[in-house]
Structure 1
Amino acid sequence: MTDRLTAKQGQALLEKEDILALGLAADARRKELHPDNVVTFIVDRNINYTNVCASECHFCAFYRQPGHQEAYLLPTTVILDKISETIEAGGTQIMLQGGLNPALGLDYYTGLLQEIKKRYSITIHSFTPTEVLYVARKEGLSLNETLKRLQASGLDSLPGGGAEILVDEVRQRVSPKKISAGEWLQVMEEAHAVGLKTTATMVIGMGETYAQRIEHMDRIRNLQEKTGGFRAFIMWSYQPGNTKLGGEKISAWEYLRTLAIARLYMDNIRHIQGSWVTQGERVGQLTLAFGADDLGSIMLEENVVRAAGTAYQMSIDKMTGLIRAAGKQPAQRDTAYHIIKHFSEVKL
């Protein structure tokens, strides 16, 4: 598949193509981009600094309304302790992500970033487009000014959370209070314009159609064509436990066939990440035969997926073992996908 897929072709493949044929095509594309056969991972920590959220997404089991007895805002000292633990464990990145807490203004975020950078040498890959836009509106600032202030205070890059499906028909059904698809893309374009690299994400299994999945991929591909600012694409499956939206988990095969299409369709994004966090380690391993060249994070802490009743554990030994067993060469990377360490020997 040397020619760029059209939306119509991508949808037809997603609907009808044999899953093994998709896997072979996606794997061939991965080999073109990554002929060294290296599969990477990162050691980091997700720090959910607050679970208070005004967005109240129907698919989220993590958030709490302001004033709820389980609502929290982590003290800065606790956040700093978590970062110390991360560095001691060999972590190179932290992801600060939280709800849309009405009590927090831009000064909170810039102050926290400055405090972290003053104490630690660690990459801050944090704050989703949803959080950034919420703060910008609260302060009456432009996106450009808000992003520049965050960047000047120590923000290194933006994660792609909050994308879910970038089709407003879906978003109105599952997260009516959240930013629109166009607004998410606007934040990302502005971030790329000020020099912040980002990732792009997708959550499947919330009742969207195949056409809507392709529309999501198309919008990501188009923005990447314009800015080149996305480092990677990451896809999760919706976890229905403890959520207002409810429903059933999609099958592993459904996840894998959509992942393969993502590798084929988004031909201008170099890295595609497979999700062991929502799929489990065995399906995570299978993603390496369906186009993925990265298995994401060892993840020293994760709370959002766990709140929906899904919890898988990972260690460096387990991660490198999974990658080797798939016939690939494991390597630890940093946020920018530079290799920090190769793991060439099997540990006995």
Structure 2
Amino acid sequence: MQDIFDKVRSGGRIDRQEAAALYESAPLHALGALAHEIRLRKHPAPVVTYVADRNINYSNICSCGCRFCAFFKAPGQEGGYVISREDLSRKIEETLALGGTQILMQGGHHPDLPFEFYEELLGFIRESYPSIHVHAFSPPEIHYFAGLYGMSVAEVLQRLRKAGLHSIPGGGAEILVNEVRERVSPNKCSADAWLAVMEEAHAQGLRTTATMMFGHEEEPEHRLDHLFAVRATQDRTGGFTAFIPWTFQPENTNIKARPLTSPEYLRVLALSRIVLDNVDNIQVSWVTMGPKIAQLALYFGGNDFGSLMIEENVVRAAGVCFRLTREEIHRLIEAAGFRPVQRNMTYQPVETA
């Protein structure tokens, strides 16, 4: 164990076997301290960043039926919606009024909307709100569009970029292991397809994030598979700006799972910082873990406090509802010993009033 710690401290890259040894056997606080050392090596200034954005779900209608999702409505089911221009405008204007710079826009796999709907949606935002950054359409959505409309992934991305797409969120990754995906989201794209969408997006100059939702029906080795898949992709493309691991919330879903404990979350977060030596930023998850654990996570490898999250619906549907104001985020970061800095999607500071 000491040899692995020394290797990491000297700037060496750990392999899969060494990562498994750390995950299984390293004392939690020693692992956290090692992750924090790497974090300080990458970001020596006493700063913790966050983004002011809003999660806007343009539709909740989805033909996937993922077992972990408490938000979707099946096609034809009561309660399904597609956002109106009026509602979209109101949400964006509220975001701008609160000092927001970005919207994260995702929806389900809607079988009946034409592709022009998405192009026109992006065009409306670009023309009406040119200052807002549009971070939208996860890889499963992009892959679904390609199949539904008879286009290549490259063509889908080209057309969305032309319409006004700026970057892609890392949603829909869950666990990037096909045997797990076949159990929890059998109608969603494969792990290989998720990674291929990201590689194509990076090739076209789009920056993206990567996520991992863990604590459902995967095993610890699958979490390692996920981390090493992200690392390998980043080696090839360099397009991921951040990695965001967060814990599965089981309430109101079709998966019976024990909610993970805070130490289990912190262990995965720290390991993420150690394995993903080529990803600059690791985001903590106050939305699923609460503000105090997110604050502690800043000493387990995290350097980014995530989003102000003016609106969030998917995790809320699974029974978790933590809300923080900008002032509360600043207070938590400062109490942990850091200076809060609002940033954009590419981690450049944003001037705020």
Q: Same fold (TM over 0.5)?
A: yes
User: Is the 8 Å Cα contact of residues 242 and 281 (structure 2) preserved in structure 1?
Assistant: yes
Q: Percent identity?
A: 47
Name the structure 1 match of 2:178. Answer: 168
The partner residue of 1:259 within 269, 282, 303 is: 269
Asked whether 1:231 is paired with 2:227, we answer no
Distance 1:14 1:341, change over 3 A: farther
Letter in 2 for 1:223: T
Unpaired runs of 5+ in structure 2? 1-7
User: Is the 8 Å Cα contact of residues 175 and 181 (structure 2) preserved in structure 1?
Assistant: yes
* Mapping for residues 121-270 of structure 1, pairs under 5 Å: 121-270=131-280
Q: 1-side partners of 2:160 and 2:352: how far apart?
A: 33
User: Is the 8 Å Cα contact of residues 273 and 301 (structure 2) preserved in structure 1?
Assistant: yes
Q: 1-side partners of 2:17 and 2:200: how far apart?
A: 29
Name the structure 2 match of 1:346. Answer: none
Deviations 1:143-200 (A, max 9, x none): 1111000001100000000000000111111111111000000000010011111000
Deviations 1:218-263 (A, max 9, x none): 0000000000000000011000000011222110110000000000
Q: 1-side partners of 2:18 and 2:117: how far apart?
A: 47
The structural deviation recorded for 1:73 is 1.0
Q: 2-side partners of 1:336 and 1:104: how far apart?
A: 31
Letter in 1 for 2:23: L
Q: 2-side partners of 1:229 and 1:37: how far apart?
A: 25
Name the structure 1 match of 2:40. Answer: 31
Q: 1-side partners of 2:351 and 2:266: how far apart?
A: 28
Name the SS of the counterpart of 2:41 in structure 1: helix
Q: 2-side partners of 1:148 and 1:342: how far apart?
A: 32
Name the structure 2 match of 1:339. Answer: 349
* Mapping for residues 55-134 of structure 1, pairs under 5 Å: 55-120=64-129, 121-134=131-144
Q: 1-side partners of 2:247 and 2:339: how far apart?
A: 26
Name the SS of the counterpart of 2:93 in structure 1: helix
Letter in 2 for 1:48: N
Q: 1-side partners of 2:237 and 2:289: how far apart?
A: 31
Unpaired runs of 5+ in structure 1? 344-348
Residue-pair matches, total? 343
How high is the TM-score relative to the length of structure 2? 0.96
User: Is the 8 Å Cα contact of residues 105 and 138 (structure 1) preserved in structure 2?
Assistant: no
Deviations 1:285-333 (A, max 9, x none): 0110000000110100000000000000111110011001111111111
Name the structure 2 match of 1:310. Answer: 320
Cα RMSD (Å) of the superposition? 1.0
Name the structure 2 match of 1:19. Answer: 28
User: Is the 8 Å Cα contact of residues 59 and 83 (structure 2) preserved in structure 1?
Assistant: yes
The structural deviation recorded for 1:211 is 1.2
Name the SS of the counterpart of 2:182 in structure 1: helix
Asked whether 1:51 is paired with 2:35, we answer no
Q: 2-side partners of 1:17 and 1:210: how far apart?
A: 14
Q: 2-side partners of 1:102 and 1:210: how far apart?
A: 35
Name the SS of the counterpart of 2:33 in structure 1: helix
Name the structure 2 match of 1:296. Answer: 306
The structural deviation recorded for 1:341 is 4.3
Name the SS of the counterpart of 1:339 in structure 2: coil
Letter in 2 for 1:273: Q
Letter in 2 for 1:225: D
The structural deviation recorded for 1:207 is 2.7
Name the structure 1 match of 2:3. Answer: none
Q: 2-side partners of 1:137 and 1:207: how far apart?
A: 28
Name the SS of the counterpart of 1:340 in structure 2: coil
The structural deviation recorded for 1:342 is 8.5
* Mapping for residues 276-291 of structure 1, pairs under 5 Å: 276-291=286-301
User: Is the 8 Å Cα contact of residues 99 and 352 (structure 2) preserved in structure 1?
Assistant: no
Name the SS of the counterpart of 1:289 in structure 2: coil
User: Is the 8 Å Cα contact of residues 184 and 217 (structure 2) preserved in structure 1?
Assistant: no
